[in-house]
Amino acid sequence: MEVSPLLADDAAGTAQAARDIQAAAGRANLFVKIPGTPAGVQAIEEAIFAGVPINVTLLFDWQQYLASAGAYLRGIERRIAAGLDPRVGSVASLFISRWDAASHDSVPGHLRNQLGLAVAGRTYRAYRELLDSPRWQKLAAAGALPQRLLWASTGAKDPALPADYYVNALAAPETVDTIPEKTLLALDSDAAAPAPVAMAADGEDADAMLARFAEARVDISALATKLQVDGAAAFVKSWTSLLGRIRTKAGAAA
């Protein structure tokens, strides 16, 4: 369940909302969604320290991922220092296909539909490096759970692509993939599709592809920021629409 996106710039309000949602639900396996915005990163640390499982959403590149991962680590470290259970679940959701939709018309044809996977590969390398770091190994030895990298937005938006384009490419150890139903059905029915090949942990191919996009004058960092800002605005629009529908139906029922 996500916190209200109207709180996106309110770190304290977001952290309190996460605690309230967990308390109201009373379910240990409920993850509360918090956007990985600058204010969200502050809220994530506080929510993890409070023992609330968190799905960090709206992450678009490795820098945003590392910021959210740092918040998770700090929350766990504070729990250990306070004598609390370090086992608090979390995932960090990296959005993939939106990169290709955003860059489709501004890059040469041979580069289309390759930026999302390049960013995923670079982020996966950062993820594996973090899991191998002494800082994480110390927390793992104390019983902490890894904040797993989650692939989000894995449905193909370009009709020229096979439905399982991203899913096949994102097979990687220690990750989660949220798959739209249409994509899942295509993956299940396509007997001719090649077996997924695990993504390389070193990210060398990703670096080479990102360099090609830089040569094509794509500012990866600026685009990541824009995608996150636009994503937050879309969350607000959907949230407002949902609340409007609820008010309308509640009024009709009354």
Which residues participate in catalysis according to the annotation?
33
- CA dihedral of residues 210, 59, 135, 127 (deg, nearest 10): -40
CA distance 49 to 5: 21
Query: Which single residue is written with the structure tokens 């590969």?
Result: 121
The gap from C-alpha 227 to its chain's centroid, in whole angstroms, comes to 12
Residues 6 or more apart whose CB falls under 8 angstroms from that of 97 comprise 116, 153, 154, 155, 156, 157, 166
Three-state secondary-structure class, residue 139 = helix
Q: What is the side-by-side strand order in the sheet with 90-95?
A: 32-35, 54-59, 90-95, 148-152, 175-177
| 3-class state of residue 133 by DSSP | coil
Pair of tokens at residue 70: 């740092």
Size of the chain in residues: 254
Give the amino acid at 78: R
The full DSSP string for 146-169 is P-EEEEE--S--STTS-TTHHHHH
